[in-house]
Homo-oligomer: A and B are copies of this chain.
Amino acid sequence: MTLGFALLGADAGARRGRLTTAHGTVETPTFMAVGTAATVKGLTPAMVASTGTGIVLGNTYHLMLRPGAERIAKLGGLHQFMQWPGPILTDSGGYQVMSLAGLRTLSEQGVEFRSHHDGSKHMLSPERSTEIQHLLDATITMAFDECTPFPATEDVAAQSMALSMRWAKRSRDAFVARDGYGQFGIVQGSVYPDLRQQSVDALLQIGFEGYAVGGLAVGEPQAEMFRVLEHTTPALPADRPRYLMGVGKPGDLVGAVARGIDMFDCVIPTRSGRTGQAFTRAGPLNIRNARYADDPRPLDPECACPVCAGGFSRAYLHHLVRSEEMLGPMLLTWHNLSYYQDLMAMMRQAIEAGTFAQFQTQFTADQARGIAP
């Protein structure tokens, strides 16, 4: 029995589902916390779990270089290594190695690159990426692909997509199927509907346990991203999970769920926590701002997370961040990830209740309220 996905309901374009995996069950729509180097930065696994996070993402590129995939395998796999017993999705490393401008060479075979740590030479190919993800014991393995740059001409996008589809086939051939594990193919094709459709067709021909929409969240406007989703998600099979890679801001998540997406990952909640930005039901705030130095209120008075309910004031968080105390990023990250998971939970609830459209309207109005002092 491979990775399971049950579609429990749908409302106003949004889907309510459940992933069943070798490492437990995940309610969708879900937001995956980014745990690049085998840690969600600034949080213990227990803190991550307390936010409602059901699945964590690991980065093949970072982990293959340090501490090394073979080492993690010998130590019992990534779940054991980072003490996250729940599901883990790993990316293929493709996105990161493509970003190594000047340090990598792309060929049909794969990508040769130099480590950003020590300049040492490495190779990532569909086969090696898939093997690394197997060594890591990833619950969900991603196909190795080329993330098409944005903007790209239709010709460039077509060639890039075609390469990704050949690599998708090789990734699938290299994948070792196991009970409760799965592999996702990645739809490319930039902003061109025909290319996206061709990419979907090619992936369906191969057959995966889930499908990701790639090549977005690379600088295009939100409207463009939504337009691509509108002509991509309807082409994907309803009985398989859909993952929008690298997205996004709260408004992006709500809009993408409305367009049939089930899974997300993004560094925004965690990275923002390290730069003093907090997400709240009344929009974002930057805790470094002097206006918060004497503010006794929690970050978000409507939030029940361990930071907001725990009595930590904006004044205290302002002090911690200004003083460059580790506890500042820790608490802000904890809150932000909780905020993201609360948002996902509210969306799941709204879909179940058949009130997703109202939820979306209310969410947009709340975000426009601003943080009145």
Q: Which residues of A contact B (CB under 8 A)?
A: 37-39, 41-44, 66-67, 71, 74-76, 80-83, 293-294, 296, 310-313, 315-316, 318-320, 322-323, 325-327, 329-331
Contacts and interface: CB of A to CB of B under 8 A. Distances in A.
Given A67-B315, A319-B66, A41 B327 contact: yes
A300 to B, nearest CB: 17
- Ranked nearest first, the 4 interchain pairs of A and B with the lowest CB-CB distance are A39-B327, A67-B319, A42-B326, A83-B311
A44 B331 contact: yes
B74 A320 contact: no
Contact of A313 (B81, B323, B329, B330): B81
Determine the main DSSP class of A at the interface with B.
loop
A317 to B, nearest CB: 11
Given A83-B312, A315-B75, A315-B81, A293 B67 contact: yes
B325 A39 contact: yes
A284 B81 CA distance: 23
B322 A66 contact: yes
Contact of A38 (B75, B293, B319): B319
A309 to B, nearest CB: 11
Contacts of A311: 80, 83
Name, among A74, A294, A323, the residue most crowded by chain B CB atoms within 10 Å (CB to CB): A323
User: Which of A37, A319, A329 neighbours the largest number of chain B CB atoms within 10 Å of its CB?
Assistant: A319
Contact of A44 (B38, B83, B319, B330): B330
A326 B323 contact: no
Contacts of A313: 75, 81
B325 A37 contact: yes
A327 B44 contact: yes
Contacts of A315: 67, 71, 75, 81
Contacts of A322: 66-67
A128 B183 CA distance: 66
Contacts of A329: 326
A66 B323 contact: yes
Contacts of A318: 67
A333 to B, nearest CB: 9
Contacts of A67: 293, 315, 318-319, 322
B37 A75 contact: no
A345 to B, nearest CB: 23
B330 A326 contact: yes
Contacts of A80: 311
A327 B71 CA distance: 20
A312 to B, nearest CB: 6
A74 B322 CA distance: 19
A75 B315 CA distance: 8
Contacts of A296: 75-76
A37 B331 contact: no
8 contacts: A37-B320, A41-B326, A67-B318, A71-B294, A74-B294, A81-B315, A81-B319, A83-B310
A95 to B, nearest CB: 19
A323 B65 CA distance: 11
A63 B82 CA distance: 36
A118 to B, nearest CB: 12
Nearest to A326: B42
A310 B66 CA distance: 22
Nearest to A65: B323
